[in-house]
Amino acid sequence: MTTRHHLPVAHEQSIGGPFVSSASKADARTEAPDGAEGEEDRLLQVGDIAKATGKTVRAIHHYEEVGLLIPHARSKGRYRLYDHAALTRVRWIGKLHDLGLSLSQIQQIVSTWESSSSAPGAMSQIRHVYQQKLEEVREQIAHLETLEHELVASLAYLDTCETCDPAELVAACTNCNLHDKSTAEPELVAGIRGNGHCRHGSNHR
């Protein structure tokens, strides 16, 4: 496996965990004395972060612009370098996006967390957000399960159609006698006919 990280490093303040303290931002791009080259193999370039997280380089730069991501260091050529905590942060942002949160809402979560006067209070606020999202996800799962059952029933119903005479006109589907009359026609099938009138062969305008 080829290692890409061979850039001379100028230290910057590290990111701690999935949250970045606003107090660290002022020192984020301050260079330190030489002699940090031994750290270079532990740092990642923006392309590495993009590849590992499935995000675009542009998106990662945007996270930095809005204060959600700060480089751990810059090379002496001024390339952004990130530690592995940046992977956690970018994946965290991605998961919150998947949960339906906008970037501005994610910024608000970080801002609220940073401005909290106590650790328990900060985590309590995060827990409240996650609890709300859990309830929403469970509602979505229940809805998707209903759709799954409807699809399974519809496919089972449509399997009977394979026994139909190929010469039969579509209009005959309205009064099909191949299906079990005691079984309700799934709405995903019934809805094809709309209001119940088949357009094929109809003079209705």
pLDDT for the residue 169: 67
Please choose, from the candidates 79, 85, 76, the residue with its C-alpha nearest in 3D space to the C-alpha of residue 42. Answer: 85
Does 11 score more than 70 pLDDT?
Answer: no
% of the chain exceeding 90 in pLDDT: 38
Does 129 score more than 90 pLDDT?
Answer: yes
pLDDT for the residue 13: 41
Q: What is the pLDDT of residues 87-114, one digit of tens each?
A: 999 999 999 999 999 999 999 999 988 8
Calpha distance 56→83 (Å, rounded) = 18
Does 63 score more than 50 pLDDT?
Answer: yes
Calpha distance 197→205 (Å, rounded) = 12
Does 77 score more than 50 pLDDT?
Answer: yes
When comparing pLDDT for 17 and 170, which is higher? 170
Calpha distance 8→57 (Å, rounded) = 21
pLDDT for the residue 50: 93
pTM: 0.65
If you average pLDDT over residues 58-80, what whole number do you get?
A: 86
Residue 61 in contact with residue 46, Cβ under 8 Å? yes
* Strand arrangement of the beta sheet that strand 44-45 belongs to: 9-11, 73-75, 80-82, 44-45
Q: Which helix (H) or strand (E) holds 123?
A: helix 119-159
Kindly indicate the confidence band of residue 203, based on its pLDDT and cuts at 50, 70 and 90.
Answer: very low
Kindly indicate the confidence band of residue 8, based on its pLDDT and cuts at 50, 70 and 90.
Answer: very low
Kindly indicate the confidence band of residue 41, based on its pLDDT and cuts at 50, 70 and 90.
Answer: low
pLDDT for the residue 66: 92
Calpha distance 203→47 (Å, rounded) = 62
